[in-house]
Amino acid sequence: MSQMNTMTIDGREVSINGERNLLEVIRKAGIDLPTFCYHSDLSVYGACRLCLVEVEGRGILGACSTPAEPGLKVRTTTDEIREIRKIAVELLLANHHQGCPTCSRSSNCQLQSLARRLGIEKVRFRSASRELPVDRSSPSLVRDPNKCVLCGDCVRVCSEIQGIGAIDFAYRGAEATVMPAFNKNLSQVECVYCGQCANVCPTGALTPKSEVEDVWKSLNRKGKVVVAQIAPAVRVALGECFGMEPGTVTIGKITTALKRMGFARVYDTSFAADLTVVEEASEYLARKQAGKNLPQFTSCCPGWVKFAEQYYPDLLANLSTCRSPQQMFGSLGKEILPEQLNCRREDLVIVSIMPCVAKKFEAKLPRFSRDGIADVDHVITTQELARMIEEAGLRFNELQPESLDLPMGFKTGAGVIFGNSGGVTEAVLRYAVEKVSGVRLESVDFHDVRGEEGLREVAITVNSTVLKLAIVHGLKNARAIAEKVRAGQCDYDLIEVMACPGGCIGGGGQPVTNDRSARARRTRGLYDADKMLELHKAQDNHMVAECYRSTLGEVNGHKAHELLHTGYQSRRRIADERMSLLTGTRQDKLQVQVCVGTNCYLKGSQTLLTQLIRHVQDRGMQDVVDVQATFCFERCKCGGPVVSIGEKRIDRCTYGQAQDAIQEEVARLTAEDRQIVNVD
């Protein structure tokens, strides 16, 4: 081994091969240094100080924030370092909520794991924790600040991977906390419910909102017929909760477990994914031929759809009108299953088992209910299904597999690969290429659309027709490509967007793991599942064809649009509420509103807001002027900062312009007051 590119770790020589820091080299050497705040996909933060090591000649350093250099001599477990780590974890425990046995993360909490691993038997510090309210306002997530260890993982994943920043640090010192803007609830801010914050949270401060109790009640309620649909990505991840390797396909065991728990029928969301391929690909080809509303964005991911509704309402016409496979299944299921199962529509309960927590939000949208009955009644995640199996006392690994129920349990490989980034695009290509060429497609694999990169671009020529495609995962990447589309800087025909890294296989409801290869192995598992099926193209699914003949009519026809398509709405980025920053006694004060939404904030609105507050205070105008921070006048294209002063709205407002306008309006109000007094 060349001494020029090695370092010594605990007396053993280890090579350096491009690792970013000491922590990565140490882990490569087979030593699992503890850490809360280190994730390979996120920036190096160095907050928890658990990965401390002793470097000869330099003292004690954080391994995650120290570059790997040849010749370094590192010790990882000295007495001093072990004691520092114990103290750090004990301090966290002293400030942490102590209801560990009832916490949903009890079985895989990193704080518990480290306490056990470091041999902590007693916390030597007085508890300083105070009970803070738990935020249950979101339909998808629960935020419990009492369990937060301030590692910052959620803050960074929301900002760096998703480009949203719905939560951040606030206050300092002992008062430091992580919260949404202005300490609002998650349901009131820009959160898209993707659940990536819960996926990286090492404790139970952020968790998927459980619907397990609701499902059990439905199963035990007399007269209810409860059926399940299983999303593609669940089958390659659930086994991890029971000690299996990531990527192990367990759909047969899942079916058995659900039927043992009392589900009347178990179906496959991949059936609805095949339906989505037929509808979405047909819609795409029609748009391509007409040259209208291109590029077409996919619409299967509710996190992405909410993101588009919040930030890019001007691009909503470009979204496919197709519902997600979950909602297609729900709508079609409530249409055809009551007759098949001999029950009333209101007595049919559809439970979705999803890798995604945004699906909980999606299922509760008013547009996905008919006559007051939701198309999908309950959504549980992969994690929640594992909990139900354990609660039922089933030994999952010992279960014998059973078959899914027909007709909505029959699928092709095109529907199965939907769970991967690039899977929707590949499934659409398997349909579109055959339709455009008029020749049966024998080779169904489109390897160019596969991969782990956050943005992939592909051009495919079919009979002189060029299909230009883009595949995006992670909403920060989606923002970048949406900006290009808005600016007319790209000429894609179809853009697939998934909010979560790697697609649904990396969803916020999937098993939490520190295995960096888990996502890749889940992806491989879905492609293997595709290969094990006899049919690989949605148009070859004879059960889907029969569904069109018996229920839906023509592809993209009237009935199909009624059951399988939807519309979208523009959403404000925060609840329509203004925060008054100055108060006085006058009831009809001049209203000064400064937008502090993202666009205006980046153009200095926060500084302008501070200046105007000071201006009003310095001149003693608190009784006549009310300065407010507000969110989004929907004038981002006009340029910020945008300020409203009385009835006047000023784009690209400067401090001087605002000063003059305030003085003018105050003078007008004062003159009106004098006039009223004179009349009296």
Please give the pLDDT value at position 679. 46
What CATH number did the domain enclosing 559 receive? 3.40.50.1780
Task: Among 106-115, 169-178, 617-626, name the one with the lowest average pLDDT.
Answer: 106-115
- Asked whether residue 65 carries a pLDDT value surpassing 70, the answer given is yes
Q: How many CB atoms lie within 10 A of CB 15?
A: 14
Residues 113 and 185 in one domain: yes
Q: What gap in Å lies between CA 413 and CA 540, rounded to an integer?
A: 10
Residues 606 and 554 in one domain: no
Regarding predicted confidence, which is higher, 2 or 601? 601
Q: Helical H runs in 438-570?
A: 475-486, 518-532, 542-547, 558-564
Regarding predicted confidence, which is higher, 614 or 456? 456
Task: Among 40-54, 76-90, 234-248, 585-599, name the one with the lowest average pLDDT.
Answer: 585-599
Q: Are 325 and 272 in contact (CB under 8 A)?
A: yes
Per-residue pLDDT tens over the stretch 504-538:
999 999 999 877 789 999 999 999 999 999 999 99
Residue 71 backbone class (left: φ over 0; alpha: ψ -120 to 50; beta: rest): left
Residues 71 and 138 in one domain: no
Q: Are 302 and 327 in contact (CB under 8 A)?
A: no
Phi first, then psi, for residue 581 (nearest 5°) are -105, -15
CA 141 to chain centre: 10
Residues 497 and 389 in one domain: yes
Model confidence at 373, in pLDDT bands (50, 70, 90)? Answer: very high
Per-residue pLDDT tens over the stretch 230-264:
999 999 999 999 999 999 999 999 999 999 999 99
Tell me the residue length of the chain: 680
Tokens coding 320: 């496919």
What CATH number did the domain enclosing 671 receive? 3.40.30.10
Tokens coding 178: 């992580």
CA 374 to chain centre: 23
- Dihedral sign for Cα atoms in the order 300, 306, 309, 310: negative
Last residue of a domain, one of 77, 106, 129: 77
Name every residue whose Cβ is closer than 8 Å to that of residue 269 and which is 6 or more positions away in sequence: 229, 230, 231, 232, 325, 326, 329, 352, 354, 415
Residues 597 and 544 in one domain: no
What CATH number did the domain enclosing 115 receive? 3.30.70.20
Q: Which domain holds residue 668?
A: 579-679
Please give the pLDDT value at position 675. 56
Q: Is residue 570 part of a domain?
A: no
- Asked whether residue 142 carries a pLDDT value surpassing 80, the answer given is yes
Q: Are 278 and 544 in contact (CB under 8 A)?
A: yes
**CB-side neighbour CA atoms (13 Å) of 372:** 2
Q: Is residue 67 part of a domain?
A: yes
- Dihedral sign for Cα atoms in the order 538, 542, 548, 551: negative
What CATH number did the domain enclosing 54 receive? 3.10.20.740
Q: Is residue 574 part of a domain?
A: no
Model confidence at 598, in pLDDT bands (50, 70, 90)? Answer: confident
- Asked whether residue 586 carries a pLDDT value surpassing 60, the answer given is no
Residues 239 and 350 in one domain: yes
> Beta strand 12-15 with 177-180: parallel, antiparallel or unpaired?
unpaired
Residues 351 and 391 in one domain: yes
Model confidence at 673, in pLDDT bands (50, 70, 90)? Answer: low
- Asked whether residue 383 carries a pLDDT value surpassing 50, the answer given is yes
Model confidence at 680, in pLDDT bands (50, 70, 90)? Answer: very low
Please give the pLDDT value at position 164. 94
Please give the pLDDT value at position 129. 66
Residues 258 and 337 in one domain: yes
Model confidence at 277, in pLDDT bands (50, 70, 90)? Answer: very high
DSSP 376-429: S-EEEEHHHHHHHHHHTT--GGGPPP-PPPSSTT---HHHHGGGSTTHHHHHHH
Please give the pLDDT value at position 421. 95
Task: Among 128-142, 150-164, 344-358, 614-628, name the one with the lowest average pLDDT.
Answer: 614-628
pLDDT above 70 covers a percentage of the chain that reads 95
Q: Which pTM was predicted? A: 0.80
Regarding predicted confidence, which is higher, 558 or 98? 558
- Asked whether residue 132 carries a pLDDT value surpassing 90, the answer given is no
Please give the pLDDT value at position 357. 97
Please give the pLDDT value at position 258. 98
Per-residue pLDDT tens over the stretch 353-366:
999 999 999 999 99
Q: Is residue 83 part of a domain?
A: no
- Asked whether residue 202 carries a pLDDT value surpassing 60, the answer given is yes
- Which value, in Å, is the radius of gyration of the alpha carbons in the chain? 28
Q: Is residue 118 part of a domain?
A: yes
- Dihedral sign for Cα atoms in the order 600, 606, 611, 615: positive
Average pLDDT along the chain: 89
Q: Is residue 17 part of a domain?
A: yes
Please give the pLDDT value at position 3. 54
Query: What total of structural domains would you count in the chain?
Result: 4
In Å, how far are 91, 111, 336, 449 from 272, measured between CA atoms?
50, 40, 13, 22
Mean pLDDT value of segment 160-187: 90
Last residue of a domain, one of 540, 564, 588: 564
Residues 149 and 220 in one domain: no
Please give the pLDDT value at position 228. 98
Residues 362 and 484 in one domain: yes
Q: What gap in Å lies between CA 173 and CA 451, rounded to an integer?
A: 43
Mean pLDDT value of segment 32-51: 80
Regarding predicted confidence, which is higher, 114 or 332? 332
Regarding predicted confidence, which is higher, 213 or 3? 213
Please give the pLDDT value at position 677. 42
Name every residue whose Cβ is closer than 8 Å to that of residue 89 and which is 6 or more positions away in sequence: 50, 111, 114, 115, 118, 120
Please give the pLDDT value at position 672. 63
Residues 303 and 336 in one domain: yes
Q: Is residue 82 part of a domain?
A: no
Q: Is residue 504 part of a domain?
A: yes
Residues 246 and 383 in one domain: yes
Q: Are 429 and 446 in contact (CB under 8 A)?
A: yes
Please give the pLDDT value at position 227. 98
Element (H, E) at 48: none
Mean pLDDT value of segment 653-662: 90
Mean pLDDT value of segment 117-128: 78
Q: What is the 3-state secondary structure (H, E, C) of 111-147?
A: HHHHHHHCCCCCCCCCCCCCCCCCECCCCCEEECHHH
Q: What gap in Å lies between CA 340 and CA 525, rounded to an integer?
A: 33
Model confidence at 573, in pLDDT bands (50, 70, 90)? Answer: low
Task: Among 146-150, 349-353, 550-554, name the one with the lowest average pLDDT.
Answer: 146-150
Regarding predicted confidence, which is higher, 585 or 243? 243
Please give the pLDDT value at position 572. 60
Q: What gap in Å lies between CA 608 and CA 593, rounded to an integer?
A: 11
Of residues 350, 282, 280, the one with CA closest to residue 322: 280
Q: Which 8-state DSSP code applies to residue 347?
A: G
